[in-house]
Amino acid sequence: MQRKLTRKSAERKNAKRELRGHGVDSPASFAPVCLIPDNFSRQLFAGLEAGVALAASDGKLLYANPRFAAILGSPRAERSGGHLRQLVGSEGWKQFGVAFRRASSRPIEVERKVLPPSGKLRTIRLSFARMRGPGSIVRIFATDVSELSEARASLKSAEEYLHSLSGRILRLQDEERRRMARDLHDLTGQKLAVAVISLSRLVKNATGLDDKDREELNDSLKAIRVVEKEIRTLSYLLHPPLLEDHGLASTLRSYIEGIIKRSGLQIALEISPDFGRIEIHKEMALFRVVQESLTNVLRHSGSSQALIRAQRSVNEIRISVEDRGKGIDAETLARLESHHETLGVGIPGIRERLKQLDGTLEIHSDKSGTRIVASVPASADAIVAP
């Protein structure tokens, strides 16, 4: 027992002497053995995957486990009495030293690249914090986060690729809609128009038909006229021809007139006088916002009224669609806000369109109704006279 006490006392004396050598006060009431690891603690720290070190305020090393030096790429484990600069090198100390000095007032965390003797670049996370008690001892944890850093970089690259791919898909979708709209209008529509003219002439000039045959012929003519009208409407919805020639404001007025006639929905449209023209891809995205929002009003809201506002400021183009319906239930709203819906369908589709333009989409909904707000940046050099 006496031998154990003598050994313990010697360790305390050595620790006190070590602290004094690095400018750390050690009054009688301060037990430095609580800060400097004893043999048992050293063995415990030696088996850790994380690097652990203690340093005085001037950067002199009081303790470092072998893993600390290994993580920092040092060819050998520095013993107490060395300086942290020896572990990180002169270049590394520029960043390391700043964080180390700041740690005296608050905990701080940094990441840096190191090139160990193995030659493979690693990412190291260093956490600094001043230890409680007398003196200015800084505790440092070093963790190799190379795999995490690589995973983050891969995820970022995948997100950028997905964002680029989404943009290409939406552009291809618009091109396909434009082609289909043109074919429906120029080919199918024209053929139906010829059929209407021919049947009209046949009805007018037909002789020898009984009443039943004449009625069936008239019904056929009416059906083809309905189909012709629906084809024109579908062509317009796929790609409004007014948009490229006359801009978003004129297109919205024409589109809303058609919606009112077909559905009976009461729609108020407010467009700021200086709205003017913007880039065609932005006009298309904002038109799709109105189109999708009004479709949802008709199908889901139960509202008989809608208000559309189109506003322009120096930095932003904003369009909002508001109804007085039953609102969106919490589960559906959470799903829409999660951004996990299928690309190109409904709200997620227009959200992605706006994202491609650095724009945003907001959904506000409660029991008194729903308000959709879309905005895109305004480019002053891209304004076209109305």
Q: Look at residue 277 in the predicted model and tell me its pLDDT.
A: 87
Question: Is residue 57 a contact partner of residue 104, using CB atoms and an 8 Å limit?
Answer: yes
Q: Name the pLDDT band for 320 (thresholds 50, 70, 90).
A: very high
Q: Look at residue 286 in the predicted model and tell me its pLDDT.
A: 92
Q: Name the pLDDT band for 179 (thresholds 50, 70, 90).
A: confident
Domains 2-144 and 245-386 share a fold: no
Q: Look at residue 42 in the predicted model and tell me its pLDDT.
A: 60
Is pLDDT above 60 for 364? yes
Residue 345 burial (CB count, 10 A):
10
- Give the 3-state secondary structure of residue 366: strand
Average pLDDT estimate for 336-357 = 71
Question: Is residue 137 a contact partner of residue 130, using CB atoms and an 8 Å limit?
Answer: yes
- 293 burial (CB, 10 Å; 0-12 / 13-18 / 19+) is buried
Q: Look at residue 246 in the predicted model and tell me its pLDDT.
A: 85
Q: In whole angstroms, what is the distance from residue 198 CA to residue 224 CA?
A: 11
Identity at 50, one-letter amino acid code:
A
**Does the domain at residues 2-144 carry the CATH identifier 3.30.450.20?**
yes
- Which CATH fold would you assign to the domain 245-386? Heat Shock Protein 90 (3.30.565)
* Long-range contacts formed by 300-304: CB under 8 A, 24+ apart: 300/325, 300/328, 301/325, 301/326, 301/327, 301/369, 301/370, 302/326, 303/369, 304/264, 304/265, 304/266
Residue 54 burial (CB count, 10 A):
18
120-151 per-position pLDDT tens digit: 777 888 888 887 766 678 888 888 887 777 78
* Most confident range, picked from 1-10, 21-30, 46-55, 140-149: 140-149
Alpha-carbon dihedral sign for residues 12, 17, 23, 26: positive
Distances (CA, A) of 277 to 281, 284, 312: 11, 12, 10
Q: Name the pLDDT band for 32 (thresholds 50, 70, 90).
A: very low
Q: Where are the alpha helices (DSSP H) in the chain?
A: 2-21, 39-46, 66-71, 84-102, 146-183, 189-205, 211-238, 242-263, 280-296, 330-337, 346-356
- 156 burial (CB, 10 Å; 0-12 / 13-18 / 19+) is exposed
114 backbone dihedrals φ, ψ, rounded to 5°: -130, 150
Domain boundaries, the chain: 2-144, 166-239, 245-386
* Most confident range, picked from 35-39, 147-151, 285-289, 300-304: 285-289
Is pLDDT above 60 for 294? yes
Question: Is residue 45 a contact partner of residue 52, using CB atoms and an 8 Å limit?
Answer: yes
With b meaning 16 or more CB within 10 Å and e meaning fewer, what string describes 82-119? bebebbbeeebbeebeebbeebeeeebeeebebebeee
240-258 per-position pLDDT tens digit: 877 888 889 988 998 898 8
Q: Name the pLDDT band for 36 (thresholds 50, 70, 90).
A: low
